[in-house]
Structure 1
Amino acid sequence: MTDTHAQPPAPASDRRVDRLRVESYRTRAEMGAASAAAIATELRERLSRQPQVRMIFAAAPSQAETLRGLRDQKGIDWKRVTTFHMDEYIGLPGEAPQRFARWLDDTLFAHLPFGAVHHIVPEPDPAAAAAAYSEKLAEASIDIVCLGIGVNSHIAFNDPPVADFHDPLDVKIVTLDEACRQQQVDDQCFARYDDVPEQALTLTIPRLLRADRLFCVVPGSAKRDAVRRALYGPVATACPASILRQQAHCTLYLDAESDPDADR
């Protein structure tokens, strides 16, 4: 179990890129421990002054270290925490292990006594599910978002062809691009490219950015180019994660493999 009284790992570098804070760690394990500790600190502070906290989680192998670390944090009244997740495939059987709701149940939700867990359930009508989830999200403000960045620089399933920094919707149906679908195979979530669903429901970029606090966790060499473009390329929907540079309420957590500046 994590000793929550111990100091979290110190970053190898801590910098600002435009308004975005970037913390880089020597290893993936240190990155996970540090991000989990920071999220826990934010939770404790918010629960000390408000009756509940509402959180949105990404579901991906890149988030595993952070979420496992969060499970071990002490001094958090999880019964006052309501959770959502940010995307879900359309067309998978309800029992499919690749469903993001199931992955989050196995990795986080089933391990802690959350006050409420709201799954995205696309069946039987994805459009109706998007509208219903939008309404549930809008019932109160979102305090914390825990997100990642895809190899194509997507945020949630807002791939470059469908990303919209001014999207009028909160949740929408999207068609996944080729790079996004291939990442699911490379992450060993699916055996073959053709097994990856073509469509999904996703929270939109404006919906995610309206949260009070964002923690973005991006480990691994496969993400280095996406991080480089997000930090140093144009702020444009061709690189959806580039919008994070304009978010002073977001911290980006990297390891030595994902940080394009780690070798400097």
Structure 2
Amino acid sequence: MQQAASEDAGERRVDRLKVRSFATREEMAQRAADDIAAGLRAALAKKQQVRMVFAAAPSQADTLAAVLARDNIDWARVTAFHMDEYIGLPERAPQRFALWLDAHVFSRAPFREVVALRPDPDPIAAASAYAARLAEAEIDLVILGVGVNGHLAFNDPPVANFEDPQDVKIVELDAVCRQQQVDDGGFATVDAVPSSAITLTIPRLLRADALYCVVPGAAKRAAIKAMLHGPLAPACPASILRTQPHCTLYLDRESDPDASRTQD
């Protein structure tokens, strides 16, 4: 693992991953939104239709709102996907990621199409159908986060596979992931959190042209430390992003394990 700082003390590379670190969550969200909007405009300048994958989580809300506030983005040429969904929740359960994204993103811009991931009543068929839709054309941009256990989407350490042959699969959620859903305010108890979900796999996410990984908050600091400085291994699924030159990681002071060096 190699780490190099640029002239901007808040920007460095860890192996091939670009890391941008900011003093506050607000600054992080605004600067990430600038980069995402620029990436969107560049993609739209090159092709008639652009395809994006969105993460659904409170950690993403500030950045997503800032992206939607940017000018000169032709959302009518953008097809939207999301990267994971619980299995077994009622259709209108407020915890469903499709509903979270609809409230925070999809209802706020005139997207060309929103391709919702609906696992029930047949999760196996749903995974196959969603993989087929994703495969119709390249994915241009992914906006994602990192879980407190280092997961990407719902690829928790017990099921994460850097060489997964599937694009979309059914997974069992580990205890740390389920507790995070409670801590994020989605569920009252761990027992209320579904035990299984459908997720895009790690190779499917990494095949996108550009990835923007937004991770604020002290709760993620240990995961980011393992991601940036620990072994490159499925025990911390997000560590694979160190091999991805087309990914940028955005941190605030609370989430950055190197904040005292990079921002003081």
TM bin (shorter chain): over 0.9
Q: Deviations over 1:42-99 (max 9, x none)?
A: 1111111111110000000000011000111110110000000000000100100100
Q: Could you tell me how far apart the structure 2 residues matched to 1:198 and 1:35 are?
A: 32
Please point out which of 143, 152, 157 is paired with 2:154. Answer: 157
**Helix, strand or coil: the match of 1:48?**
helix
Please give the residue correspondences for 1:90-239 in structure 2 after superposition, counting only pairs within 5 Å. Answer: 90-239=87-236
Q: Could you tell me how far apart the structure 2 residues matched to 1:227 and 1:13 are?
A: 15
Deviation of 1:123 after TM superposition, in Å, equals 1.1
Q: Deviations over 1:151-182 (max 9, x none)?
A: 00000000000000000000000000000000
Q: Which residue of 2 aligns with 1:82?
A: 79
Deviation of 1:12 after TM superposition, in Å, equals 5.7
Q: Deviations over 1:4-60 (max 9, x none)?
A: xxxxxxx76000000000000110011111111110001111111111110000000
TM-score after normalising by structure 1? 0.95
Give the fraction of aligned pairs with identical amino acids, expressed as a percent. Answer: 65
CA contact (8 A) 1:62 1:148 kept: yes
Q: Could you tell me how far apart the structure 2 residues matched to 1:203 and 1:114 are?
A: 21
Q: Could you tell me how far apart the structure 1 residues matched to 2:61 and 2:195 are?
A: 24
**Helix, strand or coil: the match of 2:197?**
strand
TM-score after normalising by structure 2? 0.95
Q: Could you tell me how far apart the structure 2 residues matched to 1:145 and 1:96 are?
A: 25
Q: Which residue of 2 aligns with 1:261?
A: 258
Deviation of 1:135 after TM superposition, in Å, equals 0.2
CA contact (8 A) 1:22 1:251 kept: yes
Q: Could you tell me how far apart the structure 2 residues matched to 1:115 and 1:233 are?
A: 41
* Letter in structure 1 aligned against 2:225: R
Q: Which runs of 4+ in 1 moved over 4 A?
A: none
Gaps of 5+ in 2: 1-7
Q: Could you tell me how far apart the structure 2 residues matched to 1:52 and 1:66 are?
A: 22
Alignment RMSD, CA only? 0.7
Q: Could you tell me how far apart the structure 1 residues matched to 2:43 and 2:233 are?
A: 33
